[in-house]
Structure 1
Amino acid sequence: MDFSHKAIEKKWQKIWKEKDVYQTTSNKDKKAYILDMFPYPSGSGLHVGHVKGYTATDVFSRFRRMQGYDVLHPIGWDAFGLPAEQYALSTGNDPREFTLKNIDTFRTQLQTLGFGYDFNKEVNTAHPEFYKTTQWIFEQLYKLGLAELRDIEVNWSQDLGTVLANDEVEIKDGIMVSERGGYPVVKKTMKQWVLKITAYAEKLLAGLETLDWPQSVKELQKNWIGKSEGVEISFKTQTGVDLKVFTTRADTIYGATYLVLAPEHEAVHLISTSNQLSEVETYIKQTKQKSEIDRKDDSKPKTGVFTGAYAINPITKEAIPVWIADYVLNDYGSGAVMAVPAHDPRDWEFATKFNLAIKFVLAAKDQSKAFVGEAKHINSDFLDGLDRQEANRKILERLEAENLGIKKINYKLRDWLFSRQRFYGEPFPVYYTNDGNIGLIDVKDLPVTLPQTSYIKPSGTGESPLANVKEWVEIEVNGQKVKRETNTMPQSAGSSWYYLAYILTDQPNQLIDLESEEAKARFNKWMPVDLYIGGQEHAVGHLLYARFWNHVLYDLGILKTQEPFQKLYNQGMILGPDGKKMSKSWGNVINPDDVIQSHGADALRLYEMFMGPLDASLPWSYDGLDAALKWLNRVFRLVNNTTFSTTNNQELDFVYHDVVKKVTIMVDELKLNTAISQLMVLMNAFYKYEPSTIYQPYIEGFVKMLALFAPHLAEEIWSILGHETSLVNEAWPIYDETKLIASTVTIAFQVNGKLRGTKEVAIGLDKETLIKLAKSDENVDKFIKNKKIVKEIVIFDKIVNIVVN
């Protein structure tokens, strides 16, 4: 008889909720903070890709809880965002209502999957009680000088009415458009809030070395921060303009044959000659149509324009041309490049295209392309014959002695653009006086909440729609009429500290103050996060911003841990059955609600954890899902209406303790597919015996392990076995090392080296006995009958090989 997954899952979800079995405890000496990258509650709900990561954290949380840990396993909602804003603008409906409806859908889906979240700790980044703390953190950043208003060039979408981050923009048909909706995007200078994450570049680099993260993610962050040690050299133009150039290869200065400036460089208009100015300005306009990602793409053909100006190489005293090109970015280094085309592939491509001089200053056998290896210097006067290290030391000495250059460290990391022109975001706790001064809203008056308004209209001026709500914008502070900041914070603001919000919460969206002594005590208990699972798409943005805020809160004395996430794991994607990434446009999206209806939550969870390594991206298979349900039915049939033995005949000792040991190790290492394989091994072993002879504690240990993956069925079996308590807080099964000494072994029987049979035998049998057993095997006999035996080879406890003519 198969089990009814619908009835069992509904029954146990009701019991878990009524008894609040997943409520966080805080009374043990071991803790495990296990976290998912929380979802944006879109209207489409969860997909099976979400289920993969969430099931993995649920498995690990159940495991740690049964091992006697205090477990914090919360969930919340990254609820601000552009989709809700667009919905509001297109329908006139309040995005808050739309978002809350979506949250209800997501929560129900998570509960039907049997996830053991503590919903008492649920948070919503769009709830005023949450963003009260976001605003408080912003005020601390401002007071520390880490937040400032700045005129900067941004990606502006008139249709969306907001600034977009670089990763929200793409190029289509040579035009810069928004990733969402494909709306035109232009470069525009606007006054924006920025956070000075660059001030923490060195700390963020150092912190990576303390973390148990995938090396690939660490490298992505290191490359994004992009620390470079080099020299800033002064090149003066013939008209006296001083151009500062940053280079990591000052030793190749004798090979510098031209300079390249970013089109946005402040000196471009100062140095461009009158006959080149028109061409220069046209090129600058064209550059504004390109995204930063497009400009960084080295596969694109190089473009550029000569300014008409020449600069003097400070060492060779040669006049070299100054160009502008979009592959040079203004906010990295000094926005100016000392081009050495003989030893840089980008400069080589540019020089060859525009017929500029190429001069080799490193000994290269092949001078048909740029040489970037290590070699002795040539054509370099007093540097000739020196290696890189010694040449760099000598050229720096000379540059410093003549006040032509200084040693400098640069970072690719940019300050964090922190303004959005949206209604639906965290309001800044900021106001402006009539004379332009900036003020912070008093902490006691936080949160600054969004206004209640029936219709959200675009401002039409580049400002947030909030600019239209006059009664909200114009306020009095200390008897003085002032105006609020109308920009809002980006969605990444809330996600940069939400992991702390769970610790502060005992009831949904009710947070204690971040700076209170109670908060600090809780942080000391729970931080850092012990396991953080999510997609690699957050490897840079979210993880870098969260680490930055955590470092700041550490420096403020609120946290005792510099780093927020000790162990990070990136789960792989679940692809469509066709092997493509799931997408509505491909028609290959699998809805977990449908799977739960047809196969049940336990089968879905088991299948996704068994389909392959957790970090692998693999295609969905309905055959695999069917097999998972079939196996669960097999488990149920063994236990249902069966009375097991209360005495141990010891026949299952080895396999049981071996499986418990392996599953314990494998779950701890997140090798969840192989852990399930071991459960299948144990179930196969059970089926070899009459059920009434199986030792009940072994069945119970199996059920405890099964509960990680199929908690509903495991609870049902646990009750069938006569238990009235929930499995959730049962102790994890213990293995006995003394039972792991095998008394039997499987011997392979071969004829002429080919496998013809196997037999489980006692360990340590002598050669004669083993040969006799092999010859008595029916299949072996077929291949040696009426043949001359040439040799009999025995490898004790492993192989018997009979060689015949």
Structure 2
Amino acid sequence: MAIYGKQTDQKWQKIWEDSGVFKFREDKDKEKLYVLEMFSYPSGSKLHAGHWFNYGPTDSWARMKKMQGYNVFQPMGFDAFGLPAENFAIKTGIHPMDSTLKNIETMEVQLKAMGAMFNWDHEVVTCAPDYYKWTQWLFVQLYKNGLAYRKNAPVNWCPSCNTVLANEQVLDGACERCGTPVIKKDLTQWFFSITKYADELLEDLEGLDWPEKTKSMQRHWIGRSYGSSVKFKVDQKDLEFEVFTTRVDTLYGASYVVFAPENAMVPTLTTEAQRAEVEAYIEQAKMQSDIDRQSLSREKTGVFTGSYAVNPINGRIIPIWVGDYVLNTYGTGIVMAVPAHDERDFEFAKKYDLPIERVIEGGESLPYTEIGKMMNSGEFDGLMGEEAKEKVTLWLEERNSGSLKVNYRLRDWLVSRQRYWGAPIPIVYCNHCGEVVVEEKDLPVTLPYDVEFAPDGKSPLAKSEEFLNTTCPKCGGHATREADTLDTFVCSSWYYLRYVDNKNEEEAFDKEKINKMLPVDKYVGGPEHAVMHLLYARFVTKALRDMGFLSFDEPFKSLTHQGLILGPDGQKMSKSKGNTISPDEYINQYGSDVFRMYLMFGFSYAEGGAWSDEGIRSVARFVDRVERNFHNIKDILQSSSNTDELRTEDKDLLYWNANTIKGVSEDAEKMQFNTAIARMMELTNALTKYIPLKAHNHKVLEKVNADFIRLLAPFAPHFGEEIWHLFGNEGSVFDEAWPGYDEKALVKDEVEIAIQINGKIKERIMIPSSATDVEIQELALADATIRKETEGKNIVKVIVIKGRLVNIVVKG
């Protein structure tokens, strides 16, 4: 009977829990290593293969680092607020708090059954008042420091979820959670001023050990661009507006101006004759997503306002249009249209018969969008590139009509949500004092249990008189609470800080503890959070640093993204497709170690792939083979087959041992778990070859066996502990040192080479690794098989490739 499996799992999990071997304790003699997996959302009652792929291999990496002498801190918790639980409640009538806490209870059992080193003493649950009290505290700090504010703005609205979405939560024009097309809606909302940190968020990416793709996504989302601000006066009106452009060298070719439909100036610019048409167009634009509006393939539409602007560089009177291909969230929400040198402007001008005038040389046809010499541009003719832009901008600056400008795509973080299951925003509204932040001593503002949360487009908390009515913290008069709740990304923007000091009732965290333990050394999770969670956490860290709470600049030093485990059909797992993989049935059959090892061996960690039942069976056969070897080794070491002689076979086993330690250490460090396990398979093959020998060097075998158990243990932790004790060892194998190796053992006394005749392999022989080319040639020609094959033939040439092969070219 196998000594790995569910019973072995349960045995060692109890021993680990009782002994506290994985509890984090401060140790001044060891370097701290904060290892963190992105915590899960308890929307379902059970862990799926994706959770396992995130947590299992990362735990193996952390176990290896523990054995390498690090003081590992590896906490776990739950991102427990959010829409899924609320929508489940609407569908079933089960309260979000009840379903969430029940799911957490189930998932805690499953996570413990995984056998990971999680420090459960440091658990956080974001929907618990003792956590969201400090989420509200974070809001208060941002508010007091001018980084949280409220304003009326056009926002992304999901008609299905009945709530506002941040820009980052809109994917291809649809709600990233439910897929419903998003519309625009004007609402008064709360924002965090993430744009104040745009430059630092961009520049600090360079020093992070993060995937380049993720850093590129953040660079693109922040979208810093250098250009010029150009002031246009409105003809016959005492109004002016600014346009941001990266191509001020084309200003002479600006033949019209286009405002975004949402721009606040549009109603003022619209004449009475055009008002009905403009207002109808604006309503139509609200139904379009930003993604759709920016699509190059979509037909451009617009409407004339009836007003005109003055081009500041040549005094030309040009019409002012409204067009939905212009976004109010980029630049000033206005573009100067140069149809000869911009594709979208060109299409618009052709459709509405607007002037198209070339002002840049180059290309046979229009639009020409590359850099070229200025033409039809007065005194600037002949200038090009940066010189042209600088000269035109300087001309504008001297006339107070423009300036150099840096623009960003990034917009402030919209944090208001018109839903129930989230942290209440700690603001009250008083008729006398106005907008008032709740005092820290009065936190948390508790989320009431008895609330009608069926979505109707309004905040559910607004229906609770008990919650809504309160007293003003300043004057003591009647006041009403803010009824919106916080985006759940606010909860996860700082959880990595609370883990360290999760039982602190006096403050969110102790500065000294946090500054000692942070930043996170290794962070692992999915790439889908590149411009949401990861960007928000960076902003919050920098804001708290500037407030004096932290002494570090970035939350996560090193980041790894795991790939996606697909169904056996190669498709993303979903219940509707019937291709989901439940870990429980495989763990019941094979134990958690085999399941974990299959995830590590069967897939590249960064890429993932399709699940295979044959794959996990193959890994189970490998573990069976490893176990048989261990039993055989135990029998050998108790027998009298010992020899003190260090023979070729012993040296060969020591070579494979050193080679495996080197390979596993290097590959596992880079989270290349599949190749690390492949290295252990090579050592297993070497042991399988060594075990049947009539005599064994017990000293060599003991060393290799002990090294192999320690190598295997992080990848199969329960099995590793069981085998460690099978050989009479005391304590936990994870308190042992990670094996090292002697570089000299990697140099073989003998190597095997292939001998070819006219390119076809005829024999393999062992030769001294120090043999010269001449000696190798002599040994090859002297081999009995080769002598027979070349007898009576003319040897034309002998080619020696040292350490690999000899090719003998013959004729006849």
- Same fold, judged at TM 0.5 (above): yes
Amino acid at match of 2:666: I
Q: Distance in 2 between matches of 1:764 and 1:547?
A: 56
1:483 equivalent to 2:480? Answer yes
In the TM superposition, residue 102 of structure 1 has moved relative to its aligned partner by 0.8
> Is residue 45–residue 106 contact of structure 2 (8 Å, CA) maintained in 1?
no
Which one of 187, 193, 198 corresponds to residue 195 of structure 2? 198
In the TM superposition, residue 255 of structure 1 has moved relative to its aligned partner by 1.8
The change in CA–CA distance for 1:397 and 1:165 in structure 2 (over 3 A counts) is closer
- Could you give the per-residue CA deviations for residues 124-150 of structure 1, whole angstroms, max 9, x where no partner exists? 011111111111111111101111111
Report which stretch shifted further, 134-143 or 595-604.
595-604
Amino acid at match of 1:476: T
> Is residue 75–residue 117 contact of structure 1 (8 Å, CA) maintained in 2?
yes
Identity of aligned residues (%): 45
Which one of 464, 469, 477 corresponds to residue 469 of structure 1? 464
Determine the structure 2 residue equivalent to 1:304: 302
Amino acid at match of 1:396: T
1:675 equivalent to 2:676? Answer yes
The change in CA–CA distance for 1:623 and 1:772 in structure 2 (over 3 A counts) is farther
Which one of 539, 543, 553 corresponds to residue 552 of structure 1? 543
Q: Distance in 1 between matches of 2:394 and 2:319?
A: 26
Q: Distance in 2 between matches of 1:45 and 1:436?
A: 48
> Is residue 515–residue 558 contact of structure 1 (8 Å, CA) maintained in 2?
no
Q: Distance in 1 between matches of 2:354 and 2:788?
A: 82
Q: Distance in 2 between matches of 1:344 and 1:9?
A: 65
Secondary structure at the residue paired with 1:124? coil
> Is residue 431–residue 485 contact of structure 1 (8 Å, CA) maintained in 2?
yes
After TM superposition, the structure 1 = structure 2 runs for residues 424-439 of structure 1, keeping only pairs within 5 Å, are 424-435=421-432, 437-439=434-436
The change in CA–CA distance for 1:764 and 1:152 in structure 2 (over 3 A counts) is same
- Could you give the per-residue CA deviations for residues 211-247 of structure 1, whole angstroms, max 9, x where no partner exists? 1111211111111111122211112232323121111
Determine the structure 1 residue equivalent to 2:125: 124
Which one of 720, 726, 734 corresponds to residue 714 of structure 1? 720
Determine the structure 2 residue equivalent to 1:97: 98
The change in CA–CA distance for 1:183 and 1:653 in structure 2 (over 3 A counts) is closer
Q: Distance in 2 between matches of 1:584 and 1:700?
A: 45
> Is residue 193–residue 412 contact of structure 2 (8 Å, CA) maintained in 1?
yes
1:14 equivalent to 2:14? Answer yes
Determine the structure 2 residue equivalent to 1:285: 283
- Could you give the per-residue CA deviations for residues 666-713 of structure 1, whole angstroms, max 9, x where no partner exists? 222222221111111111111111275452121111111111211111
Q: Distance in 2 between matches of 1:722 and 1:12?
A: 16
In the TM superposition, residue 477 of structure 1 has moved relative to its aligned partner by 4.4
Unaligned runs of 5+ in 2: none
> Is residue 133–residue 513 contact of structure 1 (8 Å, CA) maintained in 2?
no
Secondary structure at the residue paired with 1:583? coil
Unaligned runs of 5+ in 1: none
Secondary structure at the residue paired with 2:690? coil
Determine the structure 1 residue equivalent to 2:414: 417
The change in CA–CA distance for 1:38 and 1:777 in structure 2 (over 3 A counts) is farther
The change in CA–CA distance for 1:220 and 1:13 in structure 2 (over 3 A counts) is same
Q: Distance in 2 between matches of 1:496 and 1:198?
A: 16
Amino acid at match of 1:397: L
Amino acid at match of 1:382: E
After TM superposition, the structure 1 = structure 2 runs for residues 261-280 of structure 1, keeping only pairs within 5 Å, are 261-280=259-278
> Is residue 41–residue 79 contact of structure 1 (8 Å, CA) maintained in 2?
yes
Amino acid at match of 1:712: H
Q: Distance in 2 between matches of 1:349 and 1:617?
A: 43
Which one of 350, 356, 359 corresponds to residue 358 of structure 1? 356
Determine the structure 2 residue equivalent to 1:230: 227
Secondary structure at the residue paired with 2:417? coil
In the TM superposition, residue 776 of structure 1 has moved relative to its aligned partner by 6.7
Amino acid at match of 1:17: E
Determine the structure 2 residue equivalent to 1:618: 609
Q: Distance in 2 between matches of 1:571 and 1:389?
A: 43
Determine the structure 2 residue equivalent to 1:566: 557
The change in CA–CA distance for 1:159 and 1:569 in structure 2 (over 3 A counts) is closer
> Is residue 765–residue 797 contact of structure 1 (8 Å, CA) maintained in 2?
no
Determine the structure 2 residue equivalent to 1:724: 730
> Is residue 60–residue 715 contact of structure 2 (8 Å, CA) maintained in 1?
yes
Q: Distance in 2 between matches of 1:513 and 1:341?
A: 62
In the TM superposition, residue 40 of structure 1 has moved relative to its aligned partner by 0.6
The change in CA–CA distance for 1:794 and 1:167 in structure 2 (over 3 A counts) is closer
The change in CA–CA distance for 1:261 and 1:46 in structure 2 (over 3 A counts) is same
> Is residue 260–residue 334 contact of structure 2 (8 Å, CA) maintained in 1?
yes
Q: Distance in 2 between matches of 1:458 and 1:586?
A: 29
In the TM superposition, residue 303 of structure 1 has moved relative to its aligned partner by 2.2
Determine the structure 2 residue equivalent to 1:601: 592
- Could you give the per-residue CA deviations for residues 570-625 of structure 1, whole angstroms, max 9, x where no partner exists? 11112222222222222222111122123321122111112243212422222221
Which one of 630, 637, 643 corresponds to residue 628 of structure 2? 637
Q: Distance in 2 between matches of 1:274 and 1:429?
A: 44
Secondary structure at the residue paired with 1:640? helix
What TM-score do the two structures reach when normalised by structure 1? 0.94
Q: Distance in 2 between matches of 1:40 and 1:607?
A: 24
Secondary structure at the residue paired with 1:511? coil
In the TM superposition, residue 548 of structure 1 has moved relative to its aligned partner by 0.6
> Is residue 498–residue 508 contact of structure 2 (8 Å, CA) maintained in 1?
no
> Is residue 56–residue 609 contact of structure 1 (8 Å, CA) maintained in 2?
yes
Q: How many corresponding residue pairs? A: 792
Amino acid at match of 2:306: G
Q: Distance in 1 between matches of 2:363 and 2:522?
A: 51
In the TM superposition, residue 513 of structure 1 has moved relative to its aligned partner by 4.2
- Could you give the per-residue CA deviations for residues 765-791 of structure 1, whole angstroms, max 9, x where no partner exists? 355664465457687578546644333
> Is residue 227–residue 411 contact of structure 1 (8 Å, CA) maintained in 2?
yes
The change in CA–CA distance for 1:776 and 1:277 in structure 2 (over 3 A counts) is farther
Q: Distance in 2 between matches of 1:160 and 1:257?
A: 43
After TM superposition, the structure 1 = structure 2 runs for residues 501-520 of structure 1, keeping only pairs within 5 Å, are 501-505=498-502, 510-514=503-507, 519-520=510-511
The change in CA–CA distance for 1:22 and 1:404 in structure 2 (over 3 A counts) is same
Q: Distance in 1 between matches of 2:506 and 2:96?
A: 27
Report which stretch shifted further, 316-325 or 557-566.
316-325
Secondary structure at the residue paired with 2:416? coil
Amino acid at match of 1:732: W
Secondary structure at the residue paired with 1:550? helix
1:798 equivalent to 2:804? Answer yes
Secondary structure at the residue paired with 1:624? helix
Q: Distance in 2 between matches of 1:275 and 1:525?
A: 67
Q: Distance in 2 between matches of 1:760 and 1:69?
A: 42
Secondary structure at the residue paired with 2:797? strand
1:187 equivalent to 2:196? Answer no
- Could you give the per-residue CA deviations for residues 163-188 of structure 1, whole angstroms, max 9, x where no partner exists? 233454567xxxx7645456675432
Q: Distance in 1 between matches of 2:354 and 2:585?
A: 64
> Is residue 764–residue 796 contact of structure 1 (8 Å, CA) maintained in 2?
no
In the TM superposition, residue 308 of structure 1 has moved relative to its aligned partner by 3.1
Q: CA RMSD in A?
A: 2.3
Q: Distance in 1 between matches of 2:433 and 2:156?
A: 25
The change in CA–CA distance for 1:296 and 1:51 in structure 2 (over 3 A counts) is farther
Secondary structure at the residue paired with 1:163? strand
Amino acid at match of 1:9: D
> Is residue 168–residue 532 contact of structure 2 (8 Å, CA) maintained in 1?
no
> Is residue 306–residue 324 contact of structure 1 (8 Å, CA) maintained in 2?
yes
Secondary structure at the residue paired with 1:316? coil
Determine the structure 2 residue equivalent to 1:404: 401
1:329 equivalent to 2:327? Answer yes
Secondary structure at the residue paired with 2:153? strand
The change in CA–CA distance for 1:713 and 1:361 in structure 2 (over 3 A counts) is same
> Is residue 420–residue 453 contact of structure 2 (8 Å, CA) maintained in 1?
no
What TM-score do the two structures reach when normalised by structure 2? 0.93
In the TM superposition, residue 738 of structure 1 has moved relative to its aligned partner by 3.1
Amino acid at match of 2:132: Y
Q: Distance in 2 between matches of 1:754 and 1:605?
A: 42
Q: Distance in 2 between matches of 1:787 and 1:353?
A: 83
Determine the structure 2 residue equivalent to 1:500: 497
Secondary structure at the residue paired with 1:359? coil
